[in-house]
Amino acid sequence: MKDHENINFESKCVHAGIDEYEFGAVVPPIYQTSTFKFKSAQHGASLFMGEGKGHIYTRMSNPTVEAMEDSVAALEGGAKALGCASGMAAINTVFATYLSAGTHIVCSQAVYGPTNTLLKTVFSRFGVETSFVDTTDVAAVKAAMKENTVLVYVETPGNPTLAVSDLAEIVKIAHEYGAKVCVDNTFMSPALQRPFEFGVDVIIHSMTKFLNGHADVVAGIVVVKDAADYTPLKKVLNQTGGVIDPFNSFLVHRGIKTLAIRMERHCENAQKVAEFLEKHDMVESVTFPGLRSHPQYFTGLKQHKGHGGMITFELKGGYDAGEIMMNSVKLCQLAVSLGGVESLIQHPASMTHFSMGPDARKEAGITEGMVRLSVGIENHKDIIKDLERALYEVGEALNVKQEKNLFR
């Protein structure tokens, strides 16, 4: 369905990116091919000159991939999108397009560990300067800006702290300096947050997470607000080769059809689980955008259409408590990643953010006892019962007196 501007978001999830196909297929076919046959030598020449209509090679374009790209672009309210082989391939495509020797980037402190590492260990070697800043502090963002700042990269909510940055205010500052703003919208998805509405220039997702939603794909995407930004990003992606394949594109597009309804359940469950954790004796603190105790609660109300499915909480007992809990859960799966239908739990200090090192983790607010929970779509009572059992085991191991009262 090409004309999707006048339908509601839930309907866009089902219909966006869908075209008319040979034999009347309702679902976009999987064009699992590396190369495409030309109608004639002249047709091939026109395609290479960018004048003809069609496809040349799947690294450059593919109908199945384009259907998925059009779907995500429509959901975000963007002009165009570029499917990538992973979330990191999407991030690298943005960095490689806008950053060069002598340029400066302002990046959120609370950011996915490999994003931090990519800037520190790869782009630094090419003469790119990075300032890692608490982007929830607008004054700190402004103070970090320089004459050579070309990009402000914001992850909000941040990973894993769930810090919420005020996008409208950051955009004002960045654009005053002529810098682009790129937002990692993975944690919220377009169902809950649409950064283009706040003036953001580029959005990236790890589609591995909520967009696909079934923990069976590794994929990423770059979405642009203005079509003029598409061509330079496309050229970099084409030359570096980090493109998504047709089959994973098909799976993501299929997953997107249930995005709206899945996000409703993620939000409902996470709210109940966060409220349970906030009252538990073994929990030092809980960070969840839907709790009034969240430091950027009101920014979230302004920016989000729901509170999301991600929770972080700090255990009493630090690193040891985190390790014990990881070994005690049964329903919640001990695994990195997030956004799938199943609840996933992990310990950032020893897993996703280990590569940052202890000093960088401390600066980013990632403590030794922090636990990140991706709340799935199971019955919330089962999730809470599993967490309560595991927390009891933590207390027993650390000799904390408590009453065993499993959720019923």
The mean-pLDDT minimum among 261-275, 302-316, 372-386, 388-402 falls in 388-402
Distances 196 to 69, 184, 243, 393 between C-alpha atoms, Å: 16, 12, 24, 45
Catalytic, 59? Answer yes
Question: What CATH code would you report for 261-397?
Answer: 3.90.1150.10
Strands 310-315, 283-287: pairing kind = antiparallel
pLDDT band for position 1 (50/70/90)? Answer: low
Catalytic, 372? Answer no
What would the mean pLDDT of 76-99 be, rounded to a whole number? 98
**DSSP for 139-182?**
HHHHHH--TTEEEEEEESS-TTT-----HHHHHHHHHHTT-EEE
Question: What CATH code would you report for 9-30+62-256?
Answer: 3.40.640.10
pLDDT of residue 189: 98
**Tens digit of pLDDT for each residue in 322-351?**
999 999 999 999 999 999 999 999 998 888
d(CA 8, CA 13): 9
Q: Is the pLDDT of residue 39 over 80?
A: yes
Residues linked to residue 154 through DSSP beta bridges, in sequence order: 183
**Tens digit of pLDDT for each residue in 224-244?**
999 999 999 999 999 999 999
The one catalytic residue among 70, 166, 184, 229: 184
What would the mean pLDDT of 21-46 be, rounded to a whole number? 94
Q: Is the pLDDT of residue 252 over 70?
A: yes
The one catalytic residue among 31, 98, 112, 153: 112
What would the mean pLDDT of 374-380 be, rounded to a whole number? 98
pLDDT band for position 408 (50/70/90)? Answer: very low
Mean pLDDT of the chain, nearest integer: 95
Domain boundaries, the chain: 9-30+62-256, 261-397
Catalytic, 2? Answer no
pLDDT of residue 350: 82
Q: Is the pLDDT of residue 87 over 90?
A: yes
Catalytic, 404? Answer no
Residues linked to residue 345 through DSSP beta bridges, in sequence order: 334, 373
pLDDT of residue 68: 98
Q: To the nearest whole percent, how much of the chain has pLDDT over 70?
A: 97
pLDDT of residue 3: 59
pLDDT band for position 399 (50/70/90)? Answer: confident
Q: Is the pLDDT of residue 272 over 70?
A: yes
pLDDT band for position 407 (50/70/90)? Answer: very low
d(CA 86, CA 287): 27
pLDDT of residue 4: 60
The one catalytic residue among 180, 194, 209, 361: 209
Q: Which DSSP state fits 130?
A: E
Task: Yes or no: say if 328 and 87 are a contact pair by the CB < 8 Å rule.
Answer: no
